[in-house]
């Protein structure tokens, strides 16, 4: 019989519910709403804050897609990320990129000051900066690639090697790339983190997070599992059920959105009203080489561009767009636009004329026409 790991991702995701033994003949798993279990029935789940059978199919699928040994669902991406970083004790050190999800970057700064943890911030795509930062001991290294919102890539293999020599474990926020395009654990990372709110679920109707580990016997994994249970950072069973349903179409959605994003990026690149386009598929030199090495099957659904004429003009473009909705988030079936500097506030550091697009699965021609009309003014 063929082993589950021999199947391709399209098969694994489409049949995910069926691969997981449900104990009945339904083609989708049952929804387990019980928060507590009768102990007289012997071993099994005890209480939902520790574990619920509804988490298992999505956790197993994600662990398989990421080539990890175990996965854990959390109540949000932030809950997953902060559970790992909370493992740092006073006097320890984390090396993190200057460009990372802005709310996590802000949380990390205040957490580090409060806990007495040292943060060394590096420019994500400059390997020399990682090299200098990892010349001395560290406990954690955080990578987000492609990084939000300028889509700089970090070389996971190279940074993991440096990190391990410095005694640090490597966590990769793989939200933007998804396991369809990049599998960080195969490149040397120790943990993968996801905002499952984004492409994994893909339908803008579930807030969820996830961690995937290479070595389920590690002390860090035990810490994260205890943190999830003790802080109650668990997902509701219905959200876990919906997440599995979303993931069953993940490869189709990611490939379609990546293909459209590449076409939209090409369109914007030649448009006279566009100053600059940020997309891994359009990157130059070393970043281009890295994109080809590290991302397989596409460059993702996220891109940013600068509008000629400044922030006010960019704001007008957002208003003139009809298909692209002015909303935060990414990785959904519907396309979104955001003027990130205005969302992030005065400390953002991003140019006010920068618009970030999350490309959905609409007909690409319709998206291009929407942009063409909005940029016409
Ligand atoms: N990581 C990335 C790259 C994100 O874009 C986000 C949310 O936008 C998060 C983490 C946080 O995830 P959540 O909103 O599910 O808490």
What pLDDT shows up at residue 198? 98
Distance, in Å, from the CA atom of 174 to the CA atom of 196, rounded to the nearest integer, reads 10
3 state SS for the chain: CCCHHHCCHHHHHHCHHHHCCCCCCCCCCCCCCCCECCHHHCCCCCECCCCCHHHHHHHHHHHHHCCCCEEEEECCHHHHHHHHHCCCCCCCEEEEECCCCHHHHHHHHHHHHHHCCEEEEECCCCHHHHHHHCCCCCCEEEEECCCCCCCCCCCHHHHHHHHHHCCCEEEEECCCCHHHHCCHHHHCCCEEEEECCCCCCCCCCCCCEEEEECCCCCHHHHHHHHHHHHHCCCCCHHHHHHHHHHHCCHHHHHHHHHHHHHHHHHHHHCCCCEEEEECHHHCCHHHHHHHHHHCCCCCCCEEEEEECCCHHHHHHHHHHCCCCEECCCCCCCCCEEECHHHHHCCCCCCCCCEEEEECCCCCHHHHHHHHHHHCCC
Pocket mutation for ligand 1, best pick of 76, 96, 97, 103 (most atoms within 8 Å of C-beta): 103
Can you name the residues that pair with 171 across neighbouring β-strands?
142, 191
What pLDDT shows up at residue 21? 61
What pLDDT shows up at residue 25? 78
What pLDDT shows up at residue 27? 85
Please compute the mean of the pLDDT values over residues 19-45 and round it to a whole number: 84
What residues contact 376, with CB distance under 8 A and at least 6 apart?
Answer: none
- Per-residue pLDDT at 239 exceeds 80: yes
Q: Which residues line ligand 1 (CB under 6 A)?
A: 76-78, 101, 104, 144, 148, 173, 175-176, 195, 197, 207, 209
Please compute the mean of the pLDDT values over residues 133-153 and round it to a whole number: 97
pLDDT digits (tens, 9 = 90+) for 322-340: 999 999 999 999 999 999 9
Residue whose Cα lies nearest atom 2 of ligand 1: it is 101
What pLDDT shows up at residue 268? 98
What pLDDT shows up at residue 4? 67
Cβ contact 50:291 at 8 Å: no
Two tokens, residue 270: 């030649």
Cβ contact 327:226 at 8 Å: no
Distance, in Å, from the CA atom of 27 to the CA atom of 62, rounded to the nearest integer, reads 19
Two tokens, residue 110: 């205040």
- Per-residue pLDDT at 2 exceeds 60: no
**Distance from the CA of 199 to the center of ligand 1, in angstroms?**
11
- Per-residue pLDDT at 230 exceeds 90: yes
What pLDDT shows up at residue 283? 84
Please compute the mean of the pLDDT values over residues 111-133 and round it to a whole number: 98
**For 186, what's the count of Cα atoms within 13 Å in the CB-facing half-sphere?**
14
Distance, in Å, from the CA atom of 142 to the CA atom of 117, rounded to the nearest integer, reads 14
Pocket mutation for ligand 1, best pick of 81, 178, 198, 331 (most atoms within 8 Å of C-beta): 198
Q: Which of 67-76, 85-94, 137-146, 283-292 has the lowest mean pLDDT?
A: 283-292
- Per-residue pLDDT at 284 exceeds 90: no
Whose CA is closest to 225, among 94, 66, 61, 86? Answer: 86
- Per-residue pLDDT at 1 exceeds 60: no
Question: Over pLDDT 70: what percentage of the chain?
Answer: 97
Q: What is the mean pLDDT of the chain?
A: 95
What pLDDT shows up at residue 93? 98
Residue whose Cα lies nearest atom 11 of ligand 1: it is 77
- Per-residue pLDDT at 23 exceeds 80: no
Two tokens, residue 261: 């994003």
Diameter over CA atoms, the chain: 72
Greater model confidence, 152 or 284: 152
Q: Which of 83-97, 274-288, 319-333 has the lowest mean pLDDT?
A: 274-288
Distance, in Å, from the CA atom of 313 to the CA atom of 310, rounded to the nearest integer, reads 6
Q: 19 pLDDT band (50/70/90 cuts)?
A: low
């Amino acid at each position: 019989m063929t082993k589950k790991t021999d199947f391709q991702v399209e098969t694994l995701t489409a049949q995910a519910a069926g691969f997981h033994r449900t104990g009945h003949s339904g083609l989708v798993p049952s929804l387990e709403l019980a928060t507590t279990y009768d102990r007289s029935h012997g071993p099994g789940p005890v209480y939902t804050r520790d574990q619920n059978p509804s988490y298992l199919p999505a956790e197993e699928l994600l662990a398989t897609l990421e080539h990890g040994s175990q996965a854990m669902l959390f109540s949000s991406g932030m809950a997953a990320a902060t559970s790992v970083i909370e493992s740092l004790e006073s006097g320890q050190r984390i090396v993190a990129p200057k460009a990372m999800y802005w709310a996590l970057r802000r949380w990390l700064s205040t957490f580090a000051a409060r806990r007495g943890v040292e943060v060394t911030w590096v420019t994500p795509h400059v390997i020399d900066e990682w090299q200098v930062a990892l010349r001395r001991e560290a406990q954690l290294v955080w990578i987000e690639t492609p990084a939000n919102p300028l889509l700089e890539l970090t070389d996971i293999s190279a940074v993991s090697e440096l990190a391990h020599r410095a005694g640090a474990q490597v966590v990769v926020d793989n939200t933007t790339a998804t396991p369809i395009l990049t599998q960080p654990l195969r490149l040397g990372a120790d943990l993968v983190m996801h905002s499952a709110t984004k492409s994994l679920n893909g339908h803008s109707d579930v807030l969820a997070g996830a961690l995937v580990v290479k070595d389920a016997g590690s002390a860090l994994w035990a810490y994260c599992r205890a943190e999830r249970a003790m802080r109650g950072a668990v997902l509701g069973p219905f959200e876990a059920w919906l997440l599995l349903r979303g993931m069953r179409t993940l490869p189709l959605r990611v490939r379609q959105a990546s293909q459209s994003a590449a076409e939209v990026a090409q369109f914007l690149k030649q448009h006279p009203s566009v100053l600059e386009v940020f997309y891994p598929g359009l990157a130059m030199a070393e970043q281009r080489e890295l994109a080809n090495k590290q991302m397989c099957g596409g460059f993702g659904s996220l891109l940013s561009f600068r509008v000629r004429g400044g922030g006010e003009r960019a704001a007008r473009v957002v208003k003139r767009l009809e298909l692209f909705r002015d909303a935060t988030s990414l990785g959904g079936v519907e396309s979104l636009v955001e003027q990130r500097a205005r969302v992030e506030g005065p400390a953002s550091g991003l140019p006010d004329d920068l618009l970030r697009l999350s490309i959905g699965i609409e007909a690409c021609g319709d998206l291009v026409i929407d942009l063409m009309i909005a940029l016409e003014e």
